[in-house]
């Protein structure tokens, strides 16, 4: 069972690292930094460096989140992805004035805001909050135990809960950001971060209009729905 879980995790992580390295090497290094002029060797070199950086960042984040509730953070990854991607995808399909400035603005604002809200939300572990809740459990269980007839003890489930609560009641410290309690009360940031992503994308387009993007909208719309005019495969 452990081997299956490890293989699954390894496959997912390796796929994400490869996808990130390919996207950054092709879209950013080749098309932005090199302005489309980079040979195959340079692209491979950029992809290898990106893979190392992405992997190192992932390891650092994993170590920092060692004591956090990973199950909640994994579920929130979808909210973070939606905050950055949803505004870009929707506006690129249906708004003629959408351009590169809007893409960058929407991605950055949506992603940064969603991650920031997650870091200060109840999904993170706050030792003092956990300790306060555990103390209430201890009091409740001890009261229940005192109410039992002489010679009787708590059931196995209640006894384990009491033992765990006594351990948790001694916790002390702060969250990853040094907070004693959450600043953002909602567990899912999407209700705030997704609208902000849309707003940032729209403002980015209005602040930096691009007439060429508007002129190409009809062409791209037909191409994405019919495939007409798509570039043919080439030999590498």
Residues 54, 75, 100, 235, CA torsion sign: positive
Residues 225, 227, 231, 232, CA torsion sign: positive
| pLDDT for the residue 131 | 83
Strand ranges in the chain using DSSP code E only, listed in sequence order = none
Mean pLDDT of 107-118: 90
Question: Across the chain, what does the average pLDDT equal?
Answer: 81
Range of lowest pLDDT (11-20, 43-52, 120-129, 190-199): 120-129
| 202 pLDDT tier (thresholds 50, 70, 90) | very high
Q: Is the pLDDT of residue 200 over 90?
A: yes
Contacts of 213 by beta carbon, 8 Å cutoff, 6+ apart? 97, 98, 99, 100
| 234 pLDDT tier (thresholds 50, 70, 90) | low
Residue indicated by tokens 């060692």: 66
Helices 156-168 and 127-146, interaxial angle, to 10°? 140
**179 near 126, Cβ under 8 Å?**
yes
Reduced to 3 states (helix: H, G, I; strand: E, B; else coil), residue 68 is coil
**Percent residues over pLDDT 90 in the chain:** 11
**141 near 165, Cβ under 8 Å?**
yes
> Regarding predicted confidence, which is higher, 102 or 153?
102
Q: What is the pLDDT of residues 11-43, one digit of tens each?
A: 888 888 888 888 888 878 887 787 777 788 888
Contacts of 223 by beta carbon, 8 Å cutoff, 6+ apart? 229, 230
| pLDDT for the residue 113 | 92
Contacts of 154 by beta carbon, 8 Å cutoff, 6+ apart? 141, 144, 145, 148, 162
Q: What is the pLDDT of residues 38-90, one digit of tens each?
A: 788 888 888 888 888 888 888 887 787 777 667 667 767 788 888 988 999 99
Q: 95-129: string of b/e by CB count within 10 Å (b at 16+)? A: eeebbebbbebbbebbbbbbbebbbbbbbbbbbeb
Q: Which of 54, 60, 104, 56 lies closest to 84 in space, CA to CA?
A: 104
Contacts of 177 by beta carbon, 8 Å cutoff, 6+ apart? 119, 120, 124
| pLDDT for the residue 229 | 63
C-alpha R_g of the chain:
25
């Amino acid at each position: 069972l452990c081997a299956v879980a490890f293989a699954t995790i390894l496959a997912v992580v390796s796929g994400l690292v490869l996808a990130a390295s390919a996207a950054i090497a092709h879209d950013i290094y080749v098309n932005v930094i090199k302005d489309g002029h980079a040979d195959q060797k340079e692209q491979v070199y950029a992809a290898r460096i990106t893979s190392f950086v992405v992997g190192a960042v992932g390891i650092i984040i994993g170590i920092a989140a060692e004591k956090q509730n990973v199950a909640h953070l994994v579920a929130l990854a979808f909210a973070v992805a939606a905050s950055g991607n949803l505004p870009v995808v929707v506006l690129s399909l249906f708004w003629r004035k959408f351009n590169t400035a809007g893409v960058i603005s929407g991605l950055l604002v949506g992603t940064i805001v969603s991650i920031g809200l997650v870091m200060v939300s109840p999904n993170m572990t706050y030792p003092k909050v956990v300790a306060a809740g555990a103390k209430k459990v201890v009091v409740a269980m001890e009261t229940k135990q005192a109410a039992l007839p002489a010679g009787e003890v708590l059931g196995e489930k209640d006894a384990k809960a009491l033992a765990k609560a006594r351990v948790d009641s001694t916790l002390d410290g702060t969250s990853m950001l040094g907070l004693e309690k959450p600043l953002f009360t909602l567990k899912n940031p999407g209700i705030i971060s997704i609208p902000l992503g849309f707003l940032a994308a729209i403002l980015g387009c209005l602040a930096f209009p691009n007439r060429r993007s508007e002129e190409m909208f009809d062409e791209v719309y037909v191409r994405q729905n019919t495939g007409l005019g798509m570039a043919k495969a080439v030999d590498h």
